[in-house]
Copies of this chain bind each other. A is one copy, B any other.
């Protein structure tokens, strides 16, 4: 028996199927990550987190629940304010949704023409494969897209679901609605945890989450160097781990990594030779273990220098104003910060195009790969406008529409190699 089997069994995990998943994931991680040349020492932290993905961290969560009576909140989206969760002394974790699972069962409940990410979170639950999902006292969804919005209705029948309404424009009235939703979430958390969120606890939480964002911002700035000191795969992994590790530990580890990266840059070392074509990845989120496209890209003679994505800059670009003193001032600061998110769910969402252009410039990208999950209508539509703006700015770009299957890897490689040749 494995060392976590008893815990997993208690969480109603399908042990044989889960063992199979862990084996595949381990091999996948080995091929994509451990095979990299000259990785940093600090990456061992990430390797440990990943190799223990369903073990150590879940054990921590279980202990926090059992020994400290803390609650665990699962999320699928960067709109759920972690500051409130932390201020209520609860733990927020992103539920990955980056691999196919339980597809057959899923397609009995939602349409086949649904994006892989949605099918994944449904599937992990239905197939009893995710100890994180099973650890959640509450799972918070949001009305960001039709697919998720309607799938949460179904998911709510098998999981403790709560849905925040994200408005679709950014007018004064939308802000009022969003503020009301933030307050409703605050009350929900207080009721769930029995803890009152105070100005003091929220102020502290705002700093904790801002520090997490600042650490990734620092990391991203270091990627401007040529040669680039860290692979896009590793940077993505850091962004991914940020969704489920303890935020303060995560921040410390990322800052330690950044210290090493600075030394590496000073020595003129990189993960790829100077002058290697630099690509910006833009579009849909890549959740653990959705490393397909970064791996294919970095095996095609390019290096990824930025992620314009929810698992990337969309999650960390904007800080919450820390000057608020009263609870209401802080709630206002949260409201404003989260409404800055340039998700394709907004109409219009022209700031996203500006942000991509700025990011391409900042990261000194030679080209942009627009990554879209098949059946994701909001990003698929924005692709056309982003493409046009990139063309106008004379930045090469290519749209990649795919899912979590491996059938198209060779085809993607051929396309990306041609693209890399072109931007050289």
A-to-B contact residues, CB < 8 Å? 109-111, 113-114, 143, 145-147, 149-154, 163, 165, 167-169, 171, 173-174, 176-177, 180-181, 344-345, 347-349, 374-375, 377-378, 380-385
> In the complex, A111 Cα to B377 Cα: how many Å?
8
Q: Judging by beta carbons under 8 Å apart, are B378 and A348 in contact?
A: no
> Who on chain B is nearest to A108 by CB?
B384
> In the complex, A166 Cα to B370 Cα: how many Å?
29
> In the complex, A114 Cα to B347 Cα: how many Å?
17
The answer to whether residues A381 and B150 also contact, given A167-B165, A168-B165 and a CB cut-off of 8 A, is yes
Closest 5 CB pairs of A and B: A150-B381, A146-B377, A111-B380, A173-B180, A143-B168
> In the complex, A382 Cα to B378 Cα: how many Å?
20
Q: Judging by beta carbons under 8 Å apart, are A113 and B177 in contact?
A: no
- Closest Cβ of chain B to A126, distance in Å, is 14
- Closest Cβ of chain B to A266, distance in Å, is 45
- Closest Cβ of chain B to A291, distance in Å, is 25
Residues of B within 8 A of A347 (CB): 143, 149-150, 152-153, 163
> Who on chain B is nearest to A163 by CB?
B347
> Who on chain B is nearest to A111 by CB?
B380
Q: Judging by beta carbons under 8 Å apart, are B113 and A150 in contact?
A: no
Q: Judging by beta carbons under 8 Å apart, are B143 and A146 in contact?
A: no
The answer to whether residues A377 and B150 also contact, given A168-B165, A169-B165, A347-B143 and a CB cut-off of 8 A, is yes
